[in-house]
Structure 1
């Protein structure tokens, strides 16, 4: 039986529930201790998470198993990527408001092999039914894997005609968001917590070990400095897909003009313009972390200056970064 498009393939207000669950779970785990109320709340969220229309990352195994019975599934038409903590989650949720945008079951399937992504997308039959009513539909991949070469090559192998949206955030500001995420994910009782007591020390330590990969972090992926060096990865994406198939946006530009930025993307994807419903941001990490430090900001500004210059030369324009 074909799925009901209005509940499985298109935007649903309940789609944002996955972000609320992730935020609450991380908040509880960060404290490093569980009260009876926390245990009850975690149990409630575990049950609720079995039936979400959209997931931030992990999808219950039984949901994935059922989808294997549904028939041939599509690959995404485009990849919407960036470095971690660049605002890609916010961008993704706004793009998914468009009536011609297919909402994948998981925003971040956490699979480097794009051939394994299909289980999170609708069947060809379901898409055909939607297109008969709404016109051309588009499906996107929304994981912040700008720097993962296996994702780049795998997506190109699956969709050499695919389009790419790359979101670039000021690396100095991105670094502090990276630190806050590291602070949240580490938790106060982790053996790494001693490295998170001061943002200035965090930055100095990162500079001291660069370019070695020995930085003490709880975040899987690139260390904080390397994640903000965009030029080499941007060049690779352009070489694979061609400049005409890549749309660059600055995170600062997006947040300053959400409707205008979204419609530039919709035009790039061959979709009609759409007025978004502006709402509170998601995935913001409101944890009470050590504050950003002016000295650390200046150190990072000096560090990134040559890398930003290289990036701007590739883009053919400068971005309004500090």
Structure 2
């Protein structure tokens, strides 16, 4: 066990408070209490979700003083990017950015991106900084990332696509919880019907924009089609700068995977502190018929992905 000094303990509390505050805002029904959390959020030292815009604009006054990110931890929505990033950020040799989840679409200018990283003067020798973003399969991300930092190391975490699709839909149900009883949603299609419609549209060569969270690149199905994004990413970064992580292996043997990532990033040895899942979606069961439809649809996509990467993740068959 790595000894935890006072400064490191403070850092762990900062990371914990960031996620605690945003989850309270998301899940609290009491409007007064929600307002209190929102007010406090303006002055946090670190953010779980995108920070207040005024904080970014203020820090952007002197963008040349900001460090360039050394790494990015990316993946599709609901694939473990948040949990993995928490483990990376807790390392004593990682300097916290303003936010762990960089949202390029909300701050689409280089100086606003750099404003969300620490000052160069605050980063001690041997330390690195970086960010997380659930951007896969946003096709513009590799270009933007390369413009920000051409030497960055990229960690891509990918989840069994059939599981990810259902988890993404469940997360949207949490976001819709307060409006689902509205007449507008009466007789709205459920998950099985949405999946059938998306697959039908894809077979006809059309997109399927049904997801309400995550990158605006289509529906739940398209968010699990990873290979086109990876091929594009490898055009911008050499293979030695990219590490693809099987989310299922990460969930099963978390600390072993995290240690391997520390090594990939060139970080000194450190025994990570176990971190709870902070943004789990509502519990629901996927019916067997829909699961089989998803597994069958993704079978060929997964095989092509394994061939490209040279490794078999053993996802649903």
Change over 3 Å in CA distance of 1:25–1:274 after alignment to 2:
same
Q: Does the CA-based 8 Å contact 1:172-1:301 persist in structure 2? A: yes
- Alignment-derived partner of residue 130 in structure 2: 140
Unaligned runs of 5+ in 1: 29-33
The correspondence for 1:252, drawn from 248, 262, 272, is 248
Cα distance in structure 1, aligned partners of 2:301 and 2:135? 19
- Alignment-derived partner of residue 109 in structure 1: 102
Cα distance in structure 2, aligned partners of 1:308 and 1:237? 18
How far did 1:138 drift?
1.3
Cα distance in structure 2, aligned partners of 1:316 and 1:254? 18
Q: Does the CA-based 8 Å contact 1:192-1:218 persist in structure 2? A: no
Stretch of structure 1 that moved more, 227-236 or 185-194: 185-194
- Alignment-derived partner of residue 89 in structure 2: 96
Number of residues paired by the alignment?
300
| TM-score, normalised with respect to structure 1 | 0.85
Superimposed CA distance per residue, residues 81-124 of structure 1 (whole angstroms, 9 cap, x where no aligned partner): 11111110000001111000121111223114472311111111
Change over 3 Å in CA distance of 1:149–1:190 after alignment to 2:
farther
For the residue of structure 2 that corresponds to 1:46, the secondary structure is helix
- Alignment-derived partner of residue 213 in structure 1: 207
Q: Does the CA-based 8 Å contact 1:86-1:169 persist in structure 2? A: yes
Stretch of structure 1 that moved more, 141-150 or 88-97: 141-150
How far did 1:198 drift?
3.2
Unaligned runs of 5+ in 2: 1-5
| TM-score, normalised with respect to structure 2 | 0.86
Q: Does the CA-based 8 Å contact 1:114-1:155 persist in structure 2? A: no
Stretch of structure 1 that moved more, 112-121 or 157-166: 112-121
- Alignment-derived partner of residue 160 in structure 1: 150
- Alignment-derived partner of residue 171 in structure 1: 161
Superimposed CA distance per residue, residues 49-108 of structure 1 (whole angstroms, 9 cap, x where no aligned partner): 122222122322443344235661012111111111111000000111100012111122
> Does 1:202 find its partner at 2:194?
yes
How far did 1:182 drift?
1.7
How far did 1:273 drift?
2.0
The correspondence for 2:287, drawn from 287, 293, 310, is 293
Q: Does the CA-based 8 Å contact 1:199-1:293 persist in structure 2? A: no
